[in-house]
C-alpha cells in the first residue's frame, strides 16, 4: 500500500489543504479484499449469534384463551373500575387481540366503548386488524 501526501496545495480561499491518496498494487488487492470478506463474515456471525441468544419479549409463547381475561369481565360488560389483575391479563393476552377482534362473538367487546376504556386504563393499545 502506498501513501502519498502532497503538502500545501492551496484552495481558492488561500488556505493550505492536504491531499492524501491511497493506492493498492495488483498483488495487494486480492489480499485486501479477502481481509474485508473475513471481517464481514465475522460480523455476520456475531450478529447471528446475538440474535439467537438474546431473549425477545415476543418470543414467549402465548396461549390465546379468552377466559384469561375474566378479571376484565366486570369493567368490559358493566363499566366498573378496572382492577390491576385485568391490566395484567390484558398485557399477557395482547398478542391475541386480533384473533379476538376477528371473532364475531368477541369483536364487539374488544372495540366497544368499555373495551376501549379498559385498554386505555391499562395503557394497552388496541391493534387495527
pLDDT of residue 8 exceeding 50, the answer is: no
Contact of 1 with 24, CB cutoff 8 Å: yes
**Which pTM value belongs to this model?**
0.52
Q: How far is CA 50 from the centre of its chain?
A: 14
Segment 63-73 shows an average pLDDT of: 93
Pair (28, 67) in one structural domain: no
Greater pLDDT, 84 or 51: 84
Q: How far apart are CA 118 and CA 88, in angstroms?
A: 12
pLDDT of residue 20 exceeding 80, the answer is: no
Q: Which domain holds residue 95?
A: 63-121
Pair (68, 42) in one structural domain: no
pLDDT of residue 67 exceeding 80, the answer is: yes
Q: At which of 32, 54, 76 does a domain end?
A: 54
The reply to whether 67 falls in a domain is yes
Pair (7, 48) in one structural domain: yes
The reply to whether 129 falls in a domain is no
- Provide the grid cell at 118: 379498559
pLDDT of residue 2 exceeding 70, the answer is: no
Q: At which of 19, 34, 54 does a domain end?
A: 54
Residues above pLDDT 70, as percent of the chain: 57
Amino acid at each position: 500500500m502506498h501513501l502519498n501526501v502532497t503538502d500545501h496545495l492551496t484552495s481558492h480561499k488561500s488556505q493550505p489543504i492536504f491531499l492524501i491518496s491511497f493506492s493498492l498494487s495488483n498483488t495487494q488487492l486480492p489480499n485486501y479484499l479477502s481481509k474485508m470478506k473475513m471481517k464481514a463474515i465475522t460480523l455476520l456471525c456475531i450478529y447471528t449469534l446475538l440474535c439467537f441468544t438474546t431473549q425477545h419479549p415476543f418470543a414467549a409463547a402465548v396461549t390465546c384463551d379468552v377466559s384469561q381475561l375474566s378479571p376484565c369481565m366486570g369493567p368490559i360488560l358493566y363499566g366498573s373500575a378496572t382492577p390491576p389483575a385485568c391490566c395484567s391479563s390484558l398485557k399477557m393476552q395482547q398478542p391475541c387481540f386480533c384473533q379476538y377482534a376477528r371473532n364475531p362473538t368477541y369483536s364487539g367487546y374488544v372495540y366497544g366503548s368499555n373495551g376501549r376504556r379498559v385498554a386505555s386504563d391499562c395503557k394497552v393499545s388496541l391493534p387495527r386488524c
